[in-house]
Amino acid sequence: MSTGDVRSYRLPFELAAATAARHQLHDFLTQAGVPPRIVNDAALVISELVTNGVEHGRSDDDAIHVSWWVEDSMLTLCVRDDGSEAEPTVTQVDMYAPRGRGLALVESICQSLQIDRSEGTQITATLKLG
């Protein structure tokens, strides 16, 4: 897997974008020989981030922007929408609540999670590949 090879996608701003992103990332990592456990974790993370963006964000161009790259054995996943009034936060998980576990789940899987609201909402997560 070459480092610095950025994959970027402009996906329709709809829930189906999570499935499309998950499949693209799964194929990319599988072809690169990444272990299945890490492929599955990364696919779950990208799916959660895209779903959150579509459900809680907004889009001025009817798209959600997804990218990823590998550098120094770390996979960086980035999802950007045009922002919203809602502030994305990692909250204490209520095991009886029907929703609200997404970012907590992502944070538990990833080595880092960053939220940037300077231009819309961009969430960046990194996972160790080895």
Q: 24, 7 in Cβ contact below 8 A?
A: yes
- Cα separation, 20 vs 26, in Å, equals 10
* 118-129 confidence digits (pLDDT tens): 989 999 999 999
pLDDT given for residue 104 in this prediction: 83
20, pLDDT greater than 70: yes
Which of 7, 32, 126, 22 is CA-nearest to residue 75?
126
Q: Give the HSE-up count for residue 100: Cα atoms under 13 Å, Cβ half-sphere.
A: 9
DSSP 14: S
* 39-97 confidence digits (pLDDT tens): 999 999 999 999 999 999 999 999 999 999 999 899 999 999 998 876 655 556 565 65
pLDDT given for residue 44 in this prediction: 95
* Ranges assigned E (strand) in the chain: 7-12, 63-71, 74-81, 112-116, 121-128
pLDDT given for residue 103 in this prediction: 79
98, pLDDT greater than 70: no
Q: 50, 83 in Cβ contact below 8 A?
A: no
Q: Which two tokens stand for residue 63?
A: 């798209």
Query: What's the chain's average pLDDT?
Result: 88
Q: 41, 26 in Cβ contact below 8 A?
A: no
